[in-house]
Amino acid sequence: MRSNLLPLLPVAAASVVPRQYFSFGNYFSTGPTASGTFIIDATTTLVLPALNSPHNGNLGLWPGMGMDDGDLVQGLAISTVGIGSPCNLVASEVKWANFYEDKYNPSTGKTDQTVSVNGNVVSTLSTSSGRGGLGWGTAMECQQANCGTVPTHHYVDTKITMSAPNPNYKNTLALNGASGNFVTADGGTTWTVSDITINQYTYT
């Protein structure tokens, strides 16, 4: 999956924080694929919203795939709080930091992950993560403390390619505070969504 997120902002060294709070918000989710078939390529662009308000907790917005070997392959845009967090060098800094990761390569048996920002490749990674994805979706994930209100945001030009036709894959679509027209023009091998809208969500 090539995950294109906009824009890229400065990143500091990561730190480990306890999960005193853990909750998921709105999502667009698909899967599982038909028996014996896999997602072999997925691309999307996350257009980042304004930061959550109040700026609390560790917030992650991500697209990802559950792989057939049980792995989760995902690309992350995160917003965290305080000195030593991955995004903020000092407590007064408030900004997004992007962490990314996802096409199955049959010649190597690995998943090749490519991240582009504003059309420029900024990261590549190959990992042993099974033969392909069994499902694809987005997430809004909050950890450590209540993350406040997350503005409406969009994933655009999403394309999911199967190893073989899945004509009924649309029936696996699950929406929670999200919308998007999930369509195929080739009998279910390639599925596209021009715009996925993830509605504003407030953590409580």
Distance separating alpha carbons of residues 107 and 109, to the nearest angstrom: 6
Which comes out higher in pLDDT, residue 121 or 2? 121
pLDDT of residue 140: 96
Which comes out higher in pLDDT, residue 118 or 157? 157
pTM for this entry: 0.81
As a whole number, mean pLDDT of residues 118-126 equals 74
Give the pLDDT band of residue 16 (cuts 50, 70, 90).
very low
pLDDT of residue 15: 42
- Express each pLDDT in 46-95 by its tens digit: 888 998 999 888 899 999 999 888 888 888 888 887 655 555 555 555 56
pLDDT of residue 195: 97
Burial of 10 (C-beta count, 10 Å sphere; 0-12/13-18/19+) = exposed
pLDDT of residue 111: 76
Look up tokens 């903020």; give the residue.
88
pLDDT of residue 7: 34
Domain boundaries, the chain: 2-202
Q: Which residues 6+ apart lie within 8 Å of 139 measured at CB?
A: 24, 27, 60, 61, 62, 63, 64, 74
Three-state DSSP at 200 gives coil
- Express each pLDDT in 126-170 by its tens digit: 777 667 789 999 999 999 899 999 999 999 999 999 999 999 999
